[in-house]
Amino acid sequence: MQIGVTYPQLELGADPAVIRDFAQAAEQAGFDYLLAYDHVLGADPSKHDLSGPYTHESIFHEPFVLFGYLAGLTERIELVTGIIILPQRQTALVAKQAAEVDILSGGRLTLGIGIGWNQVEYEGLGQDFRTRGRRSEEQVRLIRRLWEEPLVTFEGEFDTIRDAGIHPRPDRRIPIWFGGGAESVLRRIGQYGDGWLTLGGTTDEQRADLVARFGRVREYAREADRDPDAIALISRVEAALGPVDHQLAQAGAWRESGATHATFNTMSAGFTTPQQHIDAITAFAEAYRRGA
């Protein structure tokens, strides 16, 4: 099971040196990947009825720009968007940006995508919140074609491209992971996704439920004549739930449940300095590698 780390951008601020130090510490500690969240706009909760936890005061670095910065400061650690809110963005531009990050990082990008929850953000970016699920399906098909074909002609419900393409294109098939848990998401993963970014799973009951739902992903993959073993199951380990031995127990339970990846998250653990986050990820990685 690979281990990754969530970039704790809600708690690290915007100092470029701090961003550099955290990413380099994660790589030095032996983490396989670094995962970053995405929001373009934060809304005022006193003016909007929001269903998610983030507001206009939450710090979010733009993932593609962040990863372009980190590509030049790291050598090995993979870079995962977890997730890009795909339907609120221009499809061809996402294909171009993702390809560029993958090329400049030496093939280290995984594109994690989802459909989001913030209708204010969709409105501000000029996209339709109500059709986001359906649009994401079309976008994935188009993005993959733009990565693979020098010239694309595509006429869909949401995007039209006539005899055009991006250049340079990536030298490999960039993995696409999906966030979310609705049945429609499980179907999309099984049909054309490379992994499922889960949320939760910190109790035995939650973990069992997610594993059972991943079984649905595998069923959809078989129906689509795909190898279900080629689809990754990405879990989470929370520093906030206890000390290192408890964190290792979380990771071990996920490994025994069949997870292929575990992402270590230090946010909401009470840390007040960047060094505390670095110390926590280093301690977890060292303990995990000793016991692996």
> What span, in angstroms and rounded, lies between the C-alpha atoms of 141 and 241?
39
Q: Which residue has the tokens 């030095």?
A: 28
CB 47 within 8 A of CB 94: no
CB 174 within 8 A of CB 144: no
Q: In this structure, is the dihedral angle defined by the CA atoms of residues 86, 88, 92 and 95, taken in order, positive or negative? A: negative
pLDDT at 292: 64
Output the tens digit of pLDDT for each of the chain's 292 residues: 999 999 999 999 999 999 999 999 999 999 999 999 999 999 999 999 888 889 999 999 999 999 999 999 999 999 999 999 999 999 999 999 999 999 999 999 999 999 999 999 999 999 999 999 999 999 999 999 999 999 999 999 999 999 999 999 999 999 999 999 999 999 999 999 999 999 878 899 999 999 999 999 999 999 999 999 999 999 999 999 999 999 999 999 999 999 999 999 999 999 999 999 999 999 999 999 998 6
User: What phi, psi does 289 have (nearest 5°)?
Assistant: -65, -35
Q: For the chain, what are the domain ranges?
A: 2-291
pLDDT at 50: 85
Domain 2-291 belongs to what topology?
A: TIM Barrel (3.20.20)
Overall residue count recorded for the chain in this entry? 292
